[in-house]
Amino acid sequence: MPVAAVRRLVRHALLTVAVSAIAMTLVTCTDSPVGPGKGGIAYVRLQPVFDAFSRVAPLTLDRVRVVVIRPRTDTLADVRQAFSPTATSVRLDVPVRLEQTTEDLEVNLELYAGSTLLFAGTDTIPVTAGTPNAAAPIPVTYKGPGQNVASLTVLPRDTTVFFGAAIDMQASAVDSQQAAVAQFYVSWTATGGTIDASGRFTAPSVRDTVFVKAVTPTGIMDSTRVFITAPPATLVKVSGDAQSASIGVRLPLPLVVRVDGSDGRPAPGVLVSFAAIAGGGSVDSATY
């Protein structure tokens, strides 16, 4: 996936899982061959491979670090470079002395948002002088804030909103010791309506039960239900109208009304208050 897609993945919650991003060409070269047929210029393409939960909001990948090591402890290069979040590839020119035409070198790859490390991975790949190789996959895992999250809770729980209304969903997290995690990142998804990277949910204009889910880059997730209903619009008399009784005597039939929503269907859960406004009398349990 190009880095532009990673930028969208990092900022927005509604995209699907990413498996790879940022094609990088690592140019390694030697000042002089060790001997006939040895050493030379080598080109290595790297392809970060993200796991299924590599989604973070609202950060943007814009820096890369590549460390090339000849096993076990000979660091041949350590290069950092900024890149545009809209770039589709990143080229790094890294001078490295090859001792053989082909060597197995350890490559450490780190991806940053500003100064914050988000993803890192290490692999050993063959480096051969001459023609660039096919992109070498480097599995990377999340290393950023909140990697210690063990449990996530989405709030508010099982709430009801009207057509088109917006509410701010929130998430809290704890670690394996049940201590609160102060800084962490989640991506948001919703089965209906829309939700942005900050967790602001906007309801659709149809009745529905929407599931809103938050997931961390390490795969810790939680969800809750949002019930979408029409706003109350009409009060309809059902029974109890035009009754009469002696003074101080309860009316034989209860007063019953129905609240209809803006879509003409009953709107449950709406409080209705009754009051005697003329002629005396009183109403018990006046609010339902």
| Mean pLDDT (whole number) for 77-97 | 79
The string of pLDDT tens digits covering residues 229-245 is 999 999 999 988 888 88
Average pLDDT over residues 172-181: 96
Q: Which distant-in-sequence residues (6+ apart) come within 8 Å of 275 by Cβ?
A: 283, 286
* Residue pLDDT, tens place only, 21-48: 455 555 554 444 444 445 666 777 888 8
**pLDDT reported for residue 136:** 84
Choose between 66 and 149: higher pLDDT.
149
Give 183: exposed, middle or buried? Use CB within 10 Å, 0-12, 13-18, 19+: exposed
Q: Does 168 have pLDDT greater than 90?
A: yes
Q: Is 179 exposed, middle or buried (0-12, 13-18, 19+ CB in 10 A)?
A: exposed
CB 21 within 8 A of CB 48: yes
pLDDT band at 151 (very low <50, low <70, confident <90, very high): very high
pTM, to two decimals? 0.70
Residue 282, pLDDT score: 82
CA–CA separation, 12 vs 59, rounded Å? Answer: 10
Mean pLDDT of the chain: 81
- Give the pLDDT mean for 112-141: 86
User: What pLDDT score does 49 carry?
Assistant: 83
Strands 23-29 and 89-95: parallel
Q: Give the model's pLDDT for residue 287.
A: 59
**pLDDT at 8 (0 to 100):** 29
CA distance 82 to 93: 13
Per-residue pLDDT tens over the stretch 58-78: 567 888 898 888 887 788 889
* Residues 212/201, Cβ–Cβ less than 8 Å: yes
The pLDDT score that the predictor gives to residue 6 is 32
d(CA 187, CA 271): 36
Report how far residue 232's alpha carbon sits from residue 240's, in angstroms, rounded to the nearest whole number: 21
Task: Say whether pLDDT at 15 is over 50.
Answer: no
Structural domains of the chain sorted by starting position, each given as residue range(s) with its CATH number in brackets:
3-142 (2.60.40), 151-229 (2.60.40.1080), 231-288 (no CATH)
Give the whole-number percent of the chain exceeding pLDDT 90: 41
